[in-house]
Amino acid sequence: MKATRKVLVVDDDPVVGASITRVLSAKGYAVISAADGPEALERIANEDYDVVYTDIKMPGMSGLEVARRVRASRPWLPVVIITGYGTADNELEAREIGTDGFLRKPLAPDVIEGSLYRAIDSGIARQGVAAAPPVSLPPKAGVGRFLKNAALFIASPFIGLAYVLVFPFVGIGMVAYMGYKALTEKEKPAR
């Protein structure tokens, strides 16, 4: 039986928790929410999690304090900071604490998913686990994909121009054909 990976989301904004839940549940993760730092620390003390996402600005205890306490009690547990108040000082402090990511709101699904995989890899490296369970990584955007997108970006005005120039002639041709067909229908003798 395969154990379900669990993610703890600590945020006083239920919308953030819902968006992370939507993205990660589709990938097979169980997402548990905590409304504040004390609730999160209680959950972490009683249950095992694979990753913790915490907001910085919450009533009572900040997300940076949550991260600091998680690092002290469970140094192997990856912690990702999410914030709408991303200052350079906050990011520096998060880095000094040893968090595994610093994400600014709003969060796109690919950003959530990518941060999860990086955090899990980081946690595995801290544990010194040689054989980790396989994690499906998102496809990397390579040079080929970039060149294709750049070529389409450059070609799009020319494609649009071609449509503008060709469609009037197609329209005139259609009107002429329909007019010819109508005239030939009238000229046929009735039987």
pLDDT tens sequence across 102-161: 888 888 888 888 888 888 887 776 666 433 444 444 454 556 677 777 777 788 888 778
Residues facing residue 7 across a β-bridge: 31, 51
For the four alpha carbons of 160, 161, 162 and 168, in that order, the dihedral sign comes to: positive
- Are 19 and 66 in a shared domain? yes
- Are 30 and 91 in a shared domain? yes
On whether the CB atoms of residues 9 and 31 are closer than 8 A, the answer is yes
- Are 113 and 157 in a shared domain? no
Which of 127, 158, 183 marks a domain boundary?
Answer: 127
The mean pLDDT of the chain is 81
Name the nearest CA neighbour of 109 among 7, 36, 35, 19: 19
Question: Given pLDDT bands bounded at 50, 70 and 90, which one contains residue 79?
Answer: very high
- Are 11 and 90 in a shared domain? yes
For the four alpha carbons of 87, 90, 96 and 98, in that order, the dihedral sign comes to: negative
- Are 21 and 94 in a shared domain? yes
Residue 51 lies inside a defined structural domain of this protein: yes
* pLDDT above 70 as % of the chain: 85
Q: Cβ of 44: how many Cβ atoms within 10 Å? A: 21
Residue 110 lies inside a defined structural domain of this protein: yes
Question: Given pLDDT bands bounded at 50, 70 and 90, which one contains residue 187?
Answer: low
**For residues 1-19, average pLDDT:** 80
pLDDT at 129: 45
pTM metric for this prediction: 0.63
More confident residue, 68 or 90: 68
pLDDT at 3: 59
Q: Cβ of 7: how many Cβ atoms within 10 Å? A: 25
On whether the CB atoms of residues 32 and 58 are closer than 8 A, the answer is no
Residue 132 lies inside a defined structural domain of this protein: no
Residue 133 lies inside a defined structural domain of this protein: no
pLDDT at 35: 87
Total domains present in the chain = 2
More confident residue, 121 or 79: 79
Take residue 154 and report the two structure tokens written for it: 């450059």
Indicate which CATH number applies to the domain containing 101: 3.40.50.2300
- Are 39 and 121 in a shared domain? yes
On whether the CB atoms of residues 29 and 136 are closer than 8 A, the answer is no
Domain holding 178, by residue range, is: 141-191
Take residue 54 and report the two structure tokens written for it: 């915490």
On whether the CB atoms of residues 31 and 21 are closer than 8 A, the answer is yes
Question: Given pLDDT bands bounded at 50, 70 and 90, which one contains residue 189?
Answer: low
